[in-house]
Amino acid sequence: MTQVVTRSGEFEARIGALRERLVAEELAALVVLDHLNIRYLTGFTGSAGVVVVLPEEIVLLSDFRYRTQAREQAAYARFVEVEGHVSDLLAEVLAEADGRVGVENDQLTVPQWERFEPRLRAVEPVLVNGLVSDLRRFKSVDEIRAISEACRLTVALMDRVREIGVVGRSERDVALDLEMWARRNGSDEVPFTYIVAYGSNGAKPHSVAGDAVIGEGGLLVVDIGTTIDGYSSDMTRTFATGDVESECRRAYDVTLEAQEAARACAGPGVPCSEVDRVAREIIEGHGLGELFKHGLGHGVGLDVHEAPTLSQRSEDVLAQGMVVTIEPGVYLEGSCGVRIEDTVVVTAVGIEVLTPYERGFTVVR
């Protein structure tokens, strides 16, 4: 069972902040379905359960398999053991709520809704978005400590890429080697499928590690992360395996320039869209704008991709305590890809890079 990093006072603060939002939204209760939001509010790490936030209490509904775990982890939530589906007892628990009941919509699936909806008819359900994930944008000292630890482990893991020898091995083999090292050295699990993408595979931003053999003279995108106490880290470096074609070298230099500018721009009070714009304008200025196809970054926490989003459309503003990635990329289809990604925390005056590691053009063999 995963240890919970959070002090009990912290859960109370989170629930308190959520209740303020519920009052503002004129909601008498909130049904929380997302398991990471449940973990955030109660500490419960089980994969089956529903939490109901009421004005006076927190109720965790789950089945017998989680009885002991729920009592240990979610000490101040009232545990209600369900025999059938969790939705069966929902109406009963919600009978205490006097008014509109919010139902978390963020991760709600159609089959889930079809199951819940008939049981909620009596209580005026309203689908609501982002109430808990908005709170999760702001990390506490304990959360930042866990993310920092995961980032330190990921930096050490990135250093392995230089040591293990990559040329002549398949992407998959290198990825497995890295993943095993991460697990052996303290990562709970890995937060996403590692990307080890050589040559033209690197030009696909979401390529994973396949059977392709890493050759000499190309670019190798390595996107990795680790998880400590449930909190993730996310980092990418692009290495060269020898002398690369000039267009790939240029893509590297432009990506690095954009990443540096974005880091210099980021800080409290800066709109996320502005940080994205600064990086994007540099890449566009070099005529490569069409080749930077994704947003600049994302929040990192219990989930490796969470709010806020750093993109052109983002309406978020960076604030102290947010942890986000800065990851511009340039992708030359059929040839090579470059991405340089750091996880950073917003401080009172700027940012602190949690994944400090060489960003200059580096050759590995």
Binding site for Zn ion (CB under 5 A): 223, 234, 236, 325, 341
Task: Assess contact for 352 and 324: CB atoms under 8 A.
Answer: no
Nearest CB to Zn ion, comparing residues 238 and 325 = 325
Closest CA to 146 of 73, 229, 226: 229
Nearest distance from residue 328's CB to Zn ion, in Å?
Answer: 11
Return the number of other C-beta atoms located less than 10 Å from residue 317's C-beta. 14
Token pair 């909190």 is found at 231
Task: Assess contact for 52 and 74: CB atoms under 8 A.
Answer: no
The whole-angstrom separation of Cα 175 and Cα 153 is: 16
Nearest distance from residue 220's CB to Zn ion, in Å?
Answer: 14
The whole-angstrom separation of Cα 2 and Cα 229 is: 7
Nearest CB to Zn ion, comparing residues 45 and 232 = 232
Residue 78, H or E segment = strand 78-81
Strand runs labelled E in 190-322: 195-198, 219-224, 227-228, 231-232, 235-240, 297-299, 306-310
Nearest CB to Zn ion, comparing residues 108 and 208 = 208
Nearest CB to Zn ion, comparing residues 37 and 309 = 309
Token pair 């060489």 is found at 358
Nearest CB to Zn ion, comparing residues 31 and 304 = 304
Nearest distance from residue 235's CB to Zn ion, in Å?
Answer: 6
Nearest distance from residue 224's CB to Zn ion, in Å?
Answer: 7
Report the SS3 class of residue 269.
coil
- Using the Cα atoms of residue 309, residue 312, residue 317 and residue 319 in order, give the sign of their dihedral: positive
Nearest distance from residue 39's CB to Zn ion, in Å?
Answer: 21
Nearest distance from residue 50's CB to Zn ion, in Å?
Answer: 30
Nearest CB to Zn ion, comparing residues 104 and 171 = 171
- Using the Cα atoms of residue 302, residue 265, residue 272 and residue 30 in order, give the sign of their dihedral: positive
Nearest CB to Zn ion, comparing residues 51 and 222 = 222
Task: Assess contact for 309 and 295: CB atoms under 8 A.
Answer: yes
Nearest distance from residue 325's CB to Zn ion, in Å?
Answer: 4
Strands 125-128, 101-104: pairing is: parallel
As a residue count, the chain comes to 365
Nearest distance from residue 177's CB to Zn ion, in Å?
Answer: 18
Nearest CB to Zn ion, comparing residues 74 and 235 = 235
